[in-house]
Amino acid sequence: MEHIRKLGYRRLGLLIGVLALLMIPLGITNPYFMYVINLILIYILLVLGLDLLVGYTGQVSIGHGAFFGIGAYIAAIFSTKLGLSFWLTLPIAILATAIIGFIIGFIGLKLIEEYLVMATLAFGTIIWLVFLNWTDVTGGPMGIALIPPPPEMNFGLFTLSFTQYADYYPLLLFFVIVAIIITKLLINSGFGRSCTAIRDDELAAQSMGIPVFRTKVIMFTISASYCGAAGTLYAHFIHVVSPETFNFTMSVTILTMVMIGGQGSIIGAVLGASLLTIFSEALRAAPELRMLIYGLLIVIMMMFFPRGIMGIISFYRKLIEKRALLKKLKGGKATVDVKKEGLGYE
Amino acid sequence: MNKKNLTDTAILTVAGLSKSFGGVKAVNDLSFSVKKNHIHAIIGPNGAGKSTLFNLITGIIPPDEGEVRFFTTDITSLRSDQIAKHGVSRTFQNIRLFPDMTVFETVLIGTYLLTGAKLAPALLRTKAFRENERVAKQRVEEILKFVGLWDVRDEYAAQLSYGNQRRVEIARALATQPQLLLLDEPTAGMNPKETKELMDLFTAVNNEGITILIIAHDMNLVNTLSDHITVINFGEKLVEGTADVIQKHPAVIEAYMGKVKVDA
């Protein structure tokens, strides 16, 4: 017990949570469900990446689907044409998307607000056209197929052979946890604080000595590389990449997830990715309807709940706290009253 | 007033500074210098170009002509974050706080120049990083106690009273460890009590060896606090000197009251 107390209940809770998450594949036998869960994990990576930019730094991009695509295509090309394994394509993709992210950020972030949105939209579209038309390298509309799974991993007790969906789950979960830890470390540092300051008031931030442009570009670069990593995982998980996955719709989907979950919140990112992935899987038969509903959702969320689901939760939490406080105050008064009554009877 | 050691070293020198917006000359060939450890007041009627002057000094807008020097360093063409790094900090006429931050978090932003934003130490949580964080938080604590906001440190800065919001802004500026503090109408809209409390705070800040350049309308404040006054009107320097000189100067009276008709 002493050990547990030392560890702290918070950490204990986390440990139990992670163990419970690891048990999921044992309970789910339907491979389709496993596929959806894995997809959710990949989306969580994307949303965490975009949220760093949108939620924590206040810079909106609707071109991050392109970074996802670049990561996926790099994994596809390097693994099918050069025979590199997943453990090599991953760092290559992260590095490449970081470099491209830096360049796009360096150019785009000279623009503000809606102009930045337009620039990232243009970038996303251009990259999509490259995927579609550079047939020699990207395979054109057909894309690239037969991307190998990651090499078999042996942990003594069990082996991940990557022959079924459930095998990918621990690997993806690992990367999601790593991404969450990195995100947490980043935002709880001088760098992370300077990003939130920029989001809240650029002029005031700059007057406090924060190099606004440089900070934004660095965050854009990090954000892009999250998406690159997600792309690599996606390519090795689905084994096929084709242009239509990484079009404008993908960028909007990621942004919607950020908005729905709640900007600037890790739990929000997880919630947003989970809900919308399940939702869009449910609406598989009608993809056009999906975009219509996404658009409507964004408008409604922006109008009534600009802080997303996490915003609603914190609103009600505060309300409950306030009520509890009121009750406590009233309760205190009541005991005093009782005493008075008692005195009266004596 | 028993004053600290006033020096003759110029901490800030403005030379021939000009800025036009369209056809309006907001600041016109303005020159003055602020001496170290002084409280230097800038006064002048509305629209005289005082806030523009502050924006020019802190690099928020570039001047058309002229030069700004901090000690002997030319800071004219630097960005505002670079100027802050040299040791010039400011508050804004319309209080600019971070809406989603508590008082403590807001002031912690001011320690950016101390903690820096290096990524590798942050990700590895190195010893130096943790030490920096600790020192930064300790400094925030000291500053909040100094300005009298320690008790409300966990409240959202934007929800405080107007006077306390101004204090947060000043605390944030102090967290950057400035040598020169620029205050843009810090007591505008304050009641006499709040004004008095803020004046005491300015004196305390000044006694810590921080030079203050203050824009103010409140003549009582200006006369009580300042060691030196520069009066500007239509972007040009009208007069400068000590409070006694300024009060009696005909040009100042004219700028504020209009021309005195001697014949009437």
Residue A13 lies in a domain: no
User: For A178, which residue in chain B has the nearest alpha carbon?
Assistant: B123
Are residue B37 and residue B49 in the same domain, yes or no? yes
Are residue B21 and residue B102 in the same domain, yes or no? no
Are residue A254 and residue A325 in the same domain, yes or no? no
Assess whether pLDDT exceeds 80 at residue A337: no
Are residue A132 and residue A265 in the same domain, yes or no? yes
The CATH number assigned to the domain holding B74 equals: 3.40.50.300
Are residue A154 and residue A89 in the same domain, yes or no? yes
A20 — phi, psi (to 5°)?
A: -60, -40
Q: Could you give the CA distance from residue B205 to residue B26 in angstroms, rounded to a whole number?
A: 30
Are residue A271 and residue A339 in the same domain, yes or no? no
Are residue B121 and residue B196 in the same domain, yes or no? no
How far A246 CA sits from the closest chain B CA (Å)?
30
What is the residue range of B164's domain?
Answer: 98-176
Instruction: Look at residue A95 in the predicted model and tell me its pLDDT.
Output: 97
Residue B92 lies in a domain: no
Are residue B260 and residue B182 in the same domain, yes or no? yes
For an interface test with A, which of B109, B166, B174 has the most A Cβ atoms less than 10 Å from its Cβ? B109
What confidence tens digit (pLDDT) does each residue in A174-202 have?
A: 999 999 999 999 999 999 999 999 999 99
Question: b/e string for B69-96 if b means 16 or more Cβ within 10 A?
Answer: bbeeeebbebbbbebbbebbbbbbeebb
Residue B148 lies in a domain: yes
Are residue A191 and residue A237 in the same domain, yes or no? yes
Cβ of A201 within 8 Å of Cβ of B111? The answer is no
Determine which helix (DSSP H) or strand (DSSP E) holds A275, and give its type and residue range. helix A266-282
User: Six-digit token pair at A33?
Assistant: 């469900």
Are residue B125 and residue B254 in the same domain, yes or no? no
Closest CA relative to residue B194, chosen from B223, B229, B218: B218
B32 — phi, psi (to 5°)?
A: -165, 170
Residue B17 lies in a domain: yes
Residue A320 lies in a domain: yes
For residues A253, A266, A270, A87, the Cα torsion angle rounded to the nearest 10 degrees is 90
When CB atoms are compared, the residue of A185, A191, A211 closest to B81 is: A211
Residues of chain A with Cβ-Cβ distance to B98 below 8 Å are: 196-197, 200-201, 204
Are residue B205 and residue B83 in the same domain, yes or no? yes
Residue B166 lies in a domain: yes
When CB atoms are compared, the residue of A182, A190, A204 closest to B117 is: A190
Residue A22 lies in a domain: no
> What's the maximum distance between 2 C-alpha atoms anywhere in chain B?
79
Summary mean pLDDT of chain A:
87
| A65-79: average pLDDT | 96
| A118-140: average pLDDT | 93
Are residue B82 and residue B120 in the same domain, yes or no? no
When CB atoms are compared, the residue of B60, B89, B117 closest to A203 is: B60
The CATH number assigned to the domain holding A204 equals: 1.10.3470
When CB atoms are compared, the residue of A182, A201, A206 closest to B81 is: A206
Are residue A53 and residue A163 in the same domain, yes or no? yes
Q: Could you give the CA distance from residue A182 to residue A106 in angstroms, rounded to a whole number?
A: 23
The domain total for chain A is 2
Distances (CA, A) of A82 to A78, A88, A96, A142, B95: 5, 11, 16, 19, 58
Are residue A302 and residue A320 in the same domain, yes or no? no
Are residue A67 and residue A154 in the same domain, yes or no? yes
- Give the CA count within 13 Å in the CB-facing half-sphere of A56: 30
Residue A10 lies in a domain: no
| A209-227: average pLDDT | 96
User: How many C-beta neighbours within 10 Å does residue A165 have?
Assistant: 20
For an interface test with A, which of B60, B70, B80 has the most A Cβ atoms less than 10 Å from its Cβ? B80
Instruction: Look at residue A332 in the predicted model and tell me its pLDDT.
Output: 52
Determine which helix (DSSP H) or strand (DSSP E) holds A11, and give its type and residue range. helix A9-27
Residue B93 lies in a domain: no
Q: How confident is the model at residue A334 (pLDDT cuts 50, 70, 90)?
A: very low
Q: Could you give the CA distance from residue A172 to residue B226 in angstroms, rounded to a whole number?
A: 64
User: For B177, which residue in chain A has the nearest alpha carbon?
Assistant: A208
Closest CA relative to residue B221, chosen from B249, B173, B188: B188
DSSP of B141-186: HHHHHHHT-GGGTTSBGGGS-HHHHHHHHHHHHHHT--SEEEEEST
Residue A45 lies in a domain: yes
Are residue B47 and residue B36 in the same domain, yes or no? yes
Which residues, in sequence order, are CB contacts of A326 under 8 Å at separation 6+?
none
Contact between A63 and A237 under an 8 Å Cβ cutoff? The reply is no
Of B148, B176, B204, the residue that ends a domain is B176
Q: How confident is the model at residue A342 (pLDDT cuts 50, 70, 90)?
A: very low
User: For B84, which residue in chain A has the nearest alpha carbon?
Assistant: A209
Q: How big is the CA angle at B116 (ends B110 and B122), to the nearest 5 degrees?
A: 120
Three-state SS string over B98-138 comes to CCCCEHHHHHHHCCHHHHCCCHHHHHHCCHHHHHHHHHHHH
When CB atoms are compared, the residue of A193, A211, A218 closest to B109 is: A193
Cβ of A211 within 8 Å of Cβ of B122? The answer is no
Are residue B68 and residue B116 in the same domain, yes or no? no
User: For A179, which residue in chain B has the nearest alpha carbon?
Assistant: B123
When CB atoms are compared, the residue of A182, A186, A197 closest to B109 is: A197
Q: How far apart are the first and last CA of chain B?
A: 40
Determine the angle formed by the axes of helices A165-187 and A9-27, rounding to 10 degrees. 160
Which residue in the block uniquely carries the two structure tokens 């560890």?
A7
Are residue B171 and residue B206 in the same domain, yes or no? no
User: For A187, which residue in chain B has the nearest alpha carbon?
Assistant: B122
Q: Which residues of chain B have pLDDT under 50?
A: 1-2, 264
How far A262 CA sits from the closest chain B CA (Å)?
14
Closest CA relative to residue B54, chosen from B200, B195, B188, B232: B232
What is the residue range of A169's domain?
Answer: 29-306
Cβ of A209 within 8 Å of Cβ of B90? The answer is no
How far B68 CA sits from the closest chain A CA (Å)?
17
What confidence tens digit (pLDDT) does each residue in A9-47 have?
A: 777 777 888 888 877 877 887 889 999 999 999 999 999
When CB atoms are compared, the residue of A185, A197, A201 closest to B122 is: A185
Are residue A87 and residue A210 in the same domain, yes or no? yes
Cβ of B84 within 8 Å of Cβ of A201? The answer is no
Assess whether pLDDT exceeds 90 at residue A262: no
Three-state SS string over A22-81 comes to HHHHHHCCCHHHHHHHHHHHHHHHHHHHHHHHHCCCCCCCCCHHHHHHHHHHHHHHHHHH
Are residue A96 and residue A155 in the same domain, yes or no? yes
The strand ranges marked E within A204-291 are: none
The domain total for chain B is 2
Q: Does A185 touch chain B (CB under 8 A)?
A: yes
Determine which helix (DSSP H) or strand (DSSP E) holds B16, and give its type and residue range. strand B10-21
A245 conformational bin, left if phi > 0, alpha if psi -120 to 50, beta if neither: alpha
Residues of chain B with Cβ-Cβ distance to A315 below 8 Å are: none
Instruction: Look at residue B5 in the predicted model and tell me its pLDDT.
Output: 66
Look up residue B19 and give its amino acid.
K
How far B135 CA sits from the closest chain A CA (Å)?
12
Minimum mean pLDDT range among A33-42, A101-110, A313-322: A313-322
User: Six-digit token pair at B163?
Assistant: 């006077």
Assess whether pLDDT exceeds 50 at residue A320: yes
Are residue B229 and residue B245 in the same domain, yes or no? yes
Residue B241's Cβ-count burial label (10 Å; 0-12, 13-18, 19+) is: middle
Are residue A271 and residue A343 in the same domain, yes or no? no
Which residue in the block uniquely carries the two structure tokens 């339907």?
A30
Which residue in the block uniquely carries the two structure tokens 């947490």?
A184
Are residue A103 and residue A46 in the same domain, yes or no? yes
B3 — phi, psi (to 5°)?
A: -105, 150
Residue A24 lies in a domain: no
Residue B184 lies in a domain: yes
Instruction: Look at residue A331 in the predicted model and tell me its pLDDT.
Output: 62
Cβ of B119 within 8 Å of Cβ of A211? The answer is no
Residues of chain A with Cβ-Cβ distance to B105 below 8 Å are: 193
Minimum mean pLDDT range among A119-128, A139-148, A292-301, B38-47: A292-301
Are residue B11 and residue B130 in the same domain, yes or no? no
Q: Could you give the CA distance from residue A191 to residue A215 in angstroms, rounded to a whole number?
A: 8
Summary mean pLDDT of chain B:
89
Q: Could you give the CA distance from residue B21 to residue B29 in angstroms, rounded to a whole number?
A: 14
- Give the CA count within 13 Å in the CB-facing half-sphere of B131: 3
- Percent of chain A, pLDDT > 90? 57
What confidence tens digit (pLDDT) does each residue in A155-170 have?
A: 877 788 888 888 899 9
Of B120, B143, B176, the residue that ends a domain is B176
Residue A118 lies in a domain: yes
Of B139, B156, B176, the residue that ends a domain is B176
Residue A16 lies in a domain: no
Q: Does A211 touch chain B (CB under 8 A)?
A: yes
Best-predicted range by mean pLDDT among A251-255, A279-283, A314-318?
A251-255
Beta-bridge mates of residue B21: B24
Look up residue B254 and give its amino acid.
E
